A = this chain, B = another copy of it.
Amino acid sequence: VVDIYGKRIVIAWPDNLVENIEDISIDAKIRVRKPYYLVSNEWKSGKTIVNVGGVEIGGSRIVVAAGPCAVEDEDILMEIAKAVKRAGASILRGGAYKPRTSPYSFQGLGEKGLKILKRVSEAVGLPVVTEVMDTRDVELVKSYADMIQIGARNSQNFTLLREVGRAKIPVLLKRGFGMTVEEWLLAAEYILSEGNGDVVLCERGIRTFEKSTRFTIDIGGMVIAKMQTHLPIAADPSHPAGNRDLVEPLALAAIVAGADMLIVEVHANPSKALSDSEQQLTVEMFEKLMKRLKAVAEAIGRSI
């Protein structure tokens, strides 16, 4: 039994255990054609708006979240936050828990980073999105952040998905780089099936044979997802780029293809960043990006 979008729903599934199916009400014994149900726009036709600290994602206005890859220092973050707000960003991003390929790389500041994020957020007036990596940290992160990010490497960490579902906080769900569009929708279904309908799906590039970019942004897959679901769609142009010169064309491409939100890495001094230094935009590049995004958004009948 799920309480979601003001409704009480019971979902039956062909291969559920028989004992689970017994206590199911009649109207829910629908044999759905697709493996996902609550995320499908066949079930909920109107677009869902996700409210993050007063910022609405999924409406006509395109939302831009910006900030450094990782929270490193309060002064630097304050400088970046003010700059991205001035340029038009409406959400601040920054990692306190960093999923790093190597155990010897900088792993983030943890709760210290969350506290910095919170203070900067309040000082500058931008809600905050930050990543959580462990089921045990969900409540802690929720107490500091306005939106929780599930990163690409945890996109099929099903116990974590259930936990953020139960936490009832807006979730930015990155697509795993080895994940199909259907699996991505099913990962969101895990969150919704716990009663949390505030999910934004974020394309961030898949892994392909092509290595001239860090990942291959799957614009077509993003469009397919948008055709299937009522949830808002975001794009992260920074991670597939792997190189700051590519961020702008990928961001523009995502917007005209239908993205409702962008999440962009910006740093006051990218070359000194402790992670992802190659792909973080300078503040000047971000300002230029925002101008071009505004022009293109207007051309497709949206705003930023």
A interface residue numbers (CB < 8 A to B): 11, 13, 15-17, 35-37, 99-106, 133-136, 153-154, 156-160, 162, 176-183, 186, 189-190, 193, 205-213, 216-221, 223-224, 227, 240-241, 245-246, 249-250, 252-258, 274, 292, 295-296, 298-300
Contact = CB atoms under 8 A, between A and B. Distances in A.
Nearest to A207: B209
Contacts of A156: 99, 101, 153-154
Contacts of A36: 102
Contacts of A258: 249
Given A208-B208, A258-B249, A220 B220 contact: no
Nearest to A292: B300
A217 B208 CA distance: 12
Contact of A257 (B209, B227, B250): B250
Contacts of A250: 219-220, 223, 257
Q: Which of A179, A255, A298 has the most CB of B within 10 A?
A: A179
Oligomer: number of copies = 4
A206 B213 CA distance: 14
Nearest to A32: B104
Contacts of A176: 178
A274 B219 contact: no
A149 B59 CA distance: 42
A221 B227 contact: no
A210 B218 contact: yes
A206 to B, nearest CB: 6
Nearest to A242: B220
A136 B133 contact: no
A216 B216 contact: yes
A72 B228 CA distance: 34
